[in-house]
Amino acid sequence: MSLTNEKRNQPGEFVLGFLAYLSVEKGYSDATIRSYGTDLEQFEHHLKDKKRSLEKPERVTRDHVRGFLADMHRRQLSKTSMGRKLSSLRAYFKYLLRHKVIGKSPMAGIRNPKQESRHPQFLNVDQVVAMLEIALDPDPEGLRDLALAEVLYGSGLRISEAIGLDLNDLDSDVIRVVGKGSKERMVPLSDASIQRIRRYMEQRHAFLKDDYSEQALFLSVRAGKRLDRRQANRIVAKLGKLAGLPKDVHPHMLRHSFATHMLEAGADLRSVQELLGHKNLTTTQRYTHLDMQHIMQVYDQAHPRAGDESDGKPEQK
């Protein structure tokens, strides 16, 4: 039976304390906290058959964690999912260690499965342009959809950051973005984004129902409230299909495309790191997957010896 279909139990005191810690002290988003909670709930279900519980963490051993890992292998979970669940457990027991609830962590010596080397999916420049220049009806909904896509690509935002924007986050040609861990950063707006937002703002009132005090920038059609993640995903997917793109487009693909195109145009990693709001430079380095043709073109244009056709042989006289 799938763990996701099983009857959910209320989390215990230690788990609730840990989730509250993630919210208050770490500043994690609701979606991230739910993911941690789901991972812990699934481990709790695994422990139940062993007469163990996360509420008695001193009785949980490394063998229990290894059994959970083996169970995930049997269910053929992806290595990414397994790694995330182990990371959730590692954070939970680290929290208990810090609060002296346990003397040692059962996660000691447990390593995440080696991840497959995968590059982020991205669109080429022509594909992005095709998406952003679709001739939608100039109604409020069409103006909103294009403004959202333009901001996602033009500023490299996460979908949560884009739909979390409020009216007072706009400041001329920059926006104030609240990223992971509630960290704020200022991100430039492209000229195209500014124009799209201006046109959308002229019609934004059409979304408002009874509550004219709503401060969310991007609004839903029915409720007149903040656009949610699912709605935003559907908008981007629709634009990709209308543009005739050969792949399913999602909001994060536009963020990947932004980073890739910035680096291809010569931006340095540190600058792109700041724009994306990455904590570690190694995260940004995933985007240095420039195709070999582009690399060779840059090499031929920039390297002082690239045009030397002698191949190191003495010139024939």
Active-site residues, by number, are 158, 180, 252, 255, 278, 287
Structural contact between residues 142 and 105, judged by C-beta atoms closer than 8 angstroms: no
Q: What residue type is assigned to position 88 of the chain?
A: S
What is the gyration radius of the CA atoms in the chain, in angstroms? 24
The string of DSSP letters for 43-68 reads: HHHHHHTTT--TTSGGG--HHHHHHH
Q: Which two structure tokens, joined as six digits, stand for 167?
A: 């009216």
In the chain the first and final C-alpha atoms are separated, in Å, by 80
**What is the rounded CA–CA span in Å between residue 43 and residue 107?**
13
Of 111, 91, 110, 75, which Cα lies nearest the Cα of 40?
91
Helices (H), the chain: 13-24, 30-48, 62-74, 79-98, 125-132, 140-155, 159-163, 191-203, 229-242, 251-264, 269-276, 281-284, 292-302
Residue 155 CB contacts under 8 Å (≥ 6 apart), including other chains: 175, 177, 187, 188, 189, 190, 193, 258, 275
Q: Which two structure tokens, joined as six digits, stand for 230?
A: 């699912």
Cα-to-chain-centroid distance, residue 178: 13
Residue 161 CB contacts under 8 Å (≥ 6 apart), including other chains: 177, 178, 179, 277
**What is the rounded CA–CA span in Å between residue 285 and residue 173?**
27
**What is the rounded CA–CA span in Å between residue 79 and residue 160?**
24
